[in-house]
Amino acid sequence: MTRSLIAAALFAAAAALFVMSVARVLPPAGWLAALLAPDPGDVSALIAHYTLFPRAATALAAGAALALSGLVLQIALDNPLAEPSTTGVSAGAVLALALFGSAGLGGPAQSLVALAGGLAAAGFTLGLAFRGGMRPATIVIAGLVLSFAASAATTLIALFNHEWMRALFLWSSGSLRQNDWSAAANIVAFLAVAWLAAAGLVRAFTLAALRDAGAASLGGNPRAIRTAGLALAAGLAALTTAEVGAIAFVGLAAPHLARAAGARTVAAQLRWTPIYGAGLLWLTDEAVKLIPLDLPTGAATGLLGAPLLLALAGRLRRPSLALAPLSAPPRRLRPEWAALIVACVVALALALFVERTADGWALATVAQASDWRFPRALAAFGAGAAIAVAGALLQRMTGNVMASPDMIGVSAGAALGFLALLYAAPTAGAGAQLAAGGLGAGLAALWTLKGTGRGAAPEQPLLLGIGVASAFTGVVSFLLASGDPRMALAVAWLSGSTYMVDAGRALVILFVAAGGLVIALALVRPLQLLPLGPAARSSGLRVGQAQMLTLALASALTAAATLVIGPLSFVGLIGPHAARSAGCRSPASLLAGSALIGGGLLATADWIGRVALFPYEIPAGIIAMLIGGAAALVALSR
């Protein structure tokens, strides 16, 4: 009864909004004729037949398909947080279509390309998860890292295809706008086949719910079940993405809503989850149509899905990334300070003096370097150092080597603060911008602090941060779709660019990075004890106070770097990892080594962006995301 009432409420609300939408175009008396056989001379009837009705049908079919895909992933992988967007399937399909989009793909060819991209991403994610023991949240983290890297590659492709960049953005953000019935018909066909296949796997999925040992004892093959479930779910999600773009969180929300409504058995979940998914996406799309903007529906689902992910992360208690204490290295290594310093000098020398011109490679003079490249190189180095130090602080505080400003939402919080100030006071000075960014980063960091105590799983801060980052992505999509001229100032900044940096800002970020490193070194003793968790209190440490100081410093460093360069991904994750590999194990050496490596990495990324595709330039943030994403995937595999 409860399940029926919830479904009825979803569809009634969506239907009411749909009726209001159609009534603004066509009187109710003409609806049936417009649906079945519109008059070619009646423009309103044609709009209803080819746009409004197909859009509603596409929303219903896509919502059901994504919900079924999410449910199958959650069952087969024993992971309540799995869904197409958090396992990399959607990003893989979007990247594949971006690679071949300029070829004018359509129909079956487009579906096949999306299917290949989604399956490739799913296979890669599952391979990483198998190496990690298929523990909860490992797949989610691996899939999201892969999604970040794929998104960077997609953005890079879009930068050099301006003629269809906006169309790619709207489509990849999940747009349900339709011009005919083809998308709805295709998705219904995919859904029917997948639903029948899932029904035939009910017994296998029931065994999968018993975990590996229980399934094997009853004659099941856990690996075969996972493979079949992943292939089914990834295929359905990729084919749906080919028709409507990437729509996140419907596949996460609908299965949990079905379980909350009382669907306990696998058969009941397979029956009710697609119904709830159809109602959720239809209602969301009808709500989006009330906004007088060309807002992609996928951006709205990201905003709605973020609170759900945050709530689910709070319930996760089973550790999935059990990590050795960061203060207990497996073997003694001495930091390679000489090599690190030489690498930084080489990175800065490349950024300052090695250039590519129309005549080929050349060396710049000192005057040329100081006039044109000095501010950019120093700003990139300072921002990279600041973000890497922030990452080292967060990893020591949480005891999780996958923590970094972007992975736990601190970078997204800083960017949200800056964008809010940009809209409220476009002429605000650097001090106000830093304060707004710091406030946003601090609020995100405080939220993350919820995931570090009371026996929380090590990955919980990451999942909390993913929710914040999802909300940020939805807000950015909303602002980009608004067409506000102020967003033109933010587009390059959102890519992590040094285009507009002057000498003053370069010196400021260098000073902030150096000062932050000095303050961080003063927190060496708390940083030695914080990874021990509650045991740190027995050593006399005020854990709450130490965490607040660490978060405040990491937030300030992140806000400063974000203000100067823009949101940066993976530098704060890779810098500390590379420093540990170079022998920097103690807190002091880790902080110093992270600063050198992070600064050198971003300075090198900025140089590569200038010379790789001369005369075009690639934002340093995109290059850093590609390099850092690859390195993060390697780190996850270990």
Cβ neighbours of residue 510 closer than 8 Å, sequence gap 6 or more: 378, 379, 381, 382
In which residue are the tokens 């906004």 written? 291
Q: How far apart are CA 465 and CA 463, in angstroms?
A: 5
Strand (E) or helix (H) holding 357: strand 354-357
Distance of CA 524 to the CA centre of its chain: 32
Strand (E) or helix (H) holding 354: strand 354-357
**Relative orientation angle of helices 571-581 and 587-611, to the nearest 10 degrees:** 120
Q: How far apart are CA 580 and CA 583, in angstroms?
A: 5
Q: How far apart are CA 40 and CA 578, in angstroms?
A: 65
Q: Which two tokens stand for residue 474?
A: 């939805």
Q: How far apart are CA 255 and CA 74, in angstroms?
A: 8
Residues 463 and 320: beta-carbon distance below 8 Å:
no
Determine the residue type at 153: A
Q: Where are the alpha helices (DSSP H) in 132-221?
A: 138-159, 165-172, 182-200, 202-208, 211-217
Q: How far apart are CA 148 and CA 154, in angstroms?
A: 10
Q: What pLDDT was estimated at residue 517?
A: 93
The model's pTM is 0.75
In which residue are the tokens 């996850």 written? 636
Distance of CA 368 to the CA centre of its chain: 39
Radius of gyration of the chain (CA): 25
For the chain of 638 residues, list the mean pLDDT of each consecutive stretch of 10.
82 91 88 86 87 93 93 81 77 81 62 81 76 61 77 76 62 79 90 90 74 60 76 86 82 84 86 92 88 74 68 52 41 70 87 81 77 83 92 82 74 79 76 78 71 53 68 68 63 71 84 92 84 68 79 84 78 84 85 91 88 80 80 71
Q: Which two tokens stand for residue 351?
A: 């950024």
Give 360's strand partners: 357
Distances (CA, A) of 416 to 384, 465, 622: 20, 13, 19
Cβ neighbours of residue 461 closer than 8 Å, sequence gap 6 or more: 398, 400, 403, 408, 448, 451, 452
DSSP symbol at 534: G
Residues 383 and 564: beta-carbon distance below 8 Å:
yes
Distances (CA, A) of 37 to 23, 48, 82, 241, 437: 18, 11, 42, 29, 55
Domains parsed from the chain with CATH numbers: 54-308 (1.10.3470.10), 337-532+543-637 (1.10.3470.10)
Q: What pLDDT was estimated at residue 321?
A: 38
User: Is the omega angle on the peptide bond into residue 615 within 30 degrees of 0, that is, cis?
Assistant: yes
In which residue are the tokens 């937030």 written? 555
